[in-house]
Every structure is written in structure tokens, then in C-alpha cells.
A = this chain, B = another copy of it.
Amino acid sequence: MIVEIINTGSELMLGRVLNTHQQWLCRRLADLGHVVTRQVAIADEGQAIQSAVREALGRADVVITTGGLGPTSDDITRELIAELLGKKLIENKAVLAHIESFFAKRGRPRPIKTDVETFVPEGAEVFLNATGTAPGLAMKIPSASSQWLVMLPGPPRELRPMFDASVVPLLKREFTDEIFICRTLLTTGIGESRVQEMVEADLQPLVMRGLEVGYCARPGAVDVRLVACGATAEKLVGEAEAVVQRILGENIYGRDDEEIEQVVVKLLAQKKKTLAVAESCTGGLIASRITDVPGASEVFLGGVVSYANLAKEKLLSVPAETLRQHGAVSEAVAKAMALNVREKFGTDFAIAVTGIAGPGGGTDEKPVGTVFIALASAGGVAVKKFLNVWERATFKQVTATQALEWLRTVSA
């Protein structure tokens, strides 16, 4: 089964918003055994939409469009596709009732603009929108084989539940799932070229049997991707995973969707250990990443964001003398932060970071990017020094990842 995705939206072509649909839909479809072969993004413009849809229908069994179904004047996808396929738009009473009820529940009058959302192409399957107003639409295309065009609304909070509730059942009904295994091993601490050099000879026999291997470098991490299709897929990927585990073992922090913070929360929960954090240069990001994990409250008691020196003194009891003598970005201050936050929260572990995010604040001795991370536990406190030369947002992410990785190794 060949699937293509078309994202419409002038805001995409102007770079006003990040297109998150591609990743989300590709991931969901891969889980069903269908790998998307092409993804196209175009403006809300008549000719561009119609030609992209026409071309995709010339190649794919299933074409999924996103966006352009809403109530405003730049939402034109429904009309353009109906025109392309020679279908009339007909008022749908179920959709009207659904939209009336949507606004009634919120105690607001239904805006007259939403009238347009109640008109759907004749013969279309209609997906009522559980989290918004515009319905999704699916149309069977008259062709030799089974071919479908699916239109989904643009807002992620509407598209995602609708895909799961309505598109997945449609695909299962109309197409056979294929066996397809994709496993990603997440490594940290080794560069991309070196990772491939270390594993490729040992993976080669499996590649000859149909395994596909991919590498993807991210800040502070390299993903090794193992893919196979067909009846032997599970076995092939399993063997490959064992090979990579044997060679890169220590450097593998997780697999597939796992974020390092999920691994840390899981490990700490298993061992019934608790955690607190003291953050300067990461400004709350470590705490925020940990609390993104459902169930984080089992292990994470809280933290202090001691951005100003005064906060390090008053909230974390770092002695003014230590700050003056060593500077806020120093081994001594990192240690004091970790020890004191551990004591204040009464946790098993505490992690503290202090560093220079930049763009300002660097010196010859401590250039922008200098970071000290301290880890305190019942056994005492240890410090590591890093030089993370990145722009501000990546600096924060990389530093948070290093802190979480250290926590992972001590809690494993």
C-alpha cells in the first residue's frame, strides 16, 4: 500500500508554523505497517492544491490531506477537492447538529462562519470532529484498485484523535496491515561516523538478508535504526538489535520513542528513589522535561531555579563566600547546589547545573558553553565539566540531556 501526505497551509510556506503533522502521521502509519513514500506541503492556493492531489492520486493508494477544512476564508481544500473529483457539496445534518452542540456546550452562539463546515462532498464518509467543528472526510476514488482520499483538519488537537478514531479503522477495513518492524536504538556519547564504523561489519550478514540500517545524528545523540519487512522481520530486527546492544551497550540509553527523561523516571520508580533538581543555566528545563513524563510525581519532588546569584544564596543556601571566591559557574557552586537541594527536598538523588548559556557572559577561562553538573546522593557529591558550544536553546537541551544521562547511569 502506497501512502502520500499533502499538508496545505500558506502559514507553512511562509514558515509561520512548524509542520508537526508529517512526523505524527508517518509514525502512526509506520506502526500500522505502512511507510509513507512522499510528503508534500503547499500553500492554500487552488492550482497548487489540485495539482498536488492529482499527482498523488497518480501514484498512491491512499492520499491524506491536512488543513483547509475550517471556517475561515483561506480554508478552501474541501471545495477544491470536490471540484477536482466532480462532486457536489451537500449539507450534512449530522455535522450541523454536531457543531450546534459543540457551541451549545460552551455556552456560545454558533458563528455563522461555521455554516461552510456543514457542506460535504456527495458520497463522502464523514468523521465527526470530537475536539473541534470541521468534520474529516474520506472519499473512495473510482479506480482499478481500492484507492482513498482522506481529508483531515489542520489543528493537531483535532487531527490526532480523528485519525485514531476514524482513519485507522478505515485503513484496517480497506487494506491489509503489512508486517513491518522498525526499531531505533538511541545512543549517546559517540559520533555518527564512529557509530557506523563500530557496528557495520557485524550487521553486514543481516543486511544481506534484508535488514535496512539507518543512522541519524541529533544534538548529543545518534540513533541507529533497524528496519525489516515480511515474515522474517521480527527475527531479523531482533538479531540486529542484539548485535548493536553487544557493541554499543553502555552507550544505548533507550529505544524507539523513549526519551531519556522517561527512562530516568522509570528507573527511579522501579528502585523507589526520589529526585530534586537545582538549575541555573537550564532555567527549569530539566524539571520541565521530567514533569512531561506521566507519573513523574512518584519520583520527582521538585526543584529550584536559581537563576540569579541571590537565589543561589537565599533558596539554596550557597555561601556568598563560595560564590565570590569561585564564581557562580564553578565546581564548588555546583556541588553546594546539589548537596543543599538534596537536603532541602530530602531526596535520594539531586542534580545541579550551573553554566554560561551565552550569548554574553563568557571569559577566557570560562568561555560561553562552560557547564558544571553535580550529582549528589547518599554517597556524597561528584561533578563533571562540559563545554557545550551551541546557541541558547540547543545549549539548554544538550545540558539537560547530559544531566539526565548521568542520572540514568547512576539509577540503572
Q: Which A residues lie at the B interface, using CB under 8 A?
A: 9-20, 22-30, 35-44, 48, 52, 70-74, 111-114, 155, 157, 182, 184, 191-194, 196-197, 200, 212-219, 223, 225, 227, 276-277, 279, 282-288, 290-292, 294, 296-297, 300-308, 310-311, 314-315, 344-346, 357, 359-360, 390, 392-394, 396
Contact = CB atoms under 8 A, between A and B. Distances in A.
A273 to B, nearest CB: 14
Contact of A302 (B38, B282, B304, B393): B304
A356 B210 CA distance: 48
A28 B345 CA distance: 46
B26 A196 contact: no
B310 A296 contact: no
Contacts of A16: 23, 27, 182, 184, 216, 223, 225
B302 A287 contact: no
A71 B287 contact: no
Q: Interface centre among A30, A40, A219, A288, by most B CB within 10 Å?
A: A288
A247 B172 CA distance: 49
B72 A193 contact: yes
A216 B111 contact: no
A288 B14 contact: no
Contacts of A297: 307-308
Contacts of A38: 40-42, 48, 52
Nearest to A161: B391
A27 B17 CA distance: 9
Contacts of A225: 10-11, 14, 16
B111 A194 contact: yes
B314 A344 contact: yes
Instruction: List 9 tightest A-B contacts by C-beta distance, closest first.
Output: A283-B291, A15-B27, A284-B287, A15-B26, A284-B284, A302-B311, A111-B193, A284-B288, A301-B308
Given A215-B74, A315-B304, A18 B18 contact: yes
A288 B291 contact: no
Residue from the set A27, A287, A359 with the largest chain B CB neighbour count within 10 Å: A287
B14 A227 contact: yes
A344 B315 contact: yes
Nearest to A180: B14
Nearest to A293: B392
Nearest to A10: B214
A307 B296 contact: yes
Nearest to A301: B308
A311 B42 CA distance: 49
A72 B215 contact: yes
A305 B285 CA distance: 11
A15 B23 contact: yes
Contacts of A194: 111
Contact of A303 (B14, B196, B305): B305
A193 B200 CA distance: 55
Contact of A48 (B37, B114, B214, B223): B37
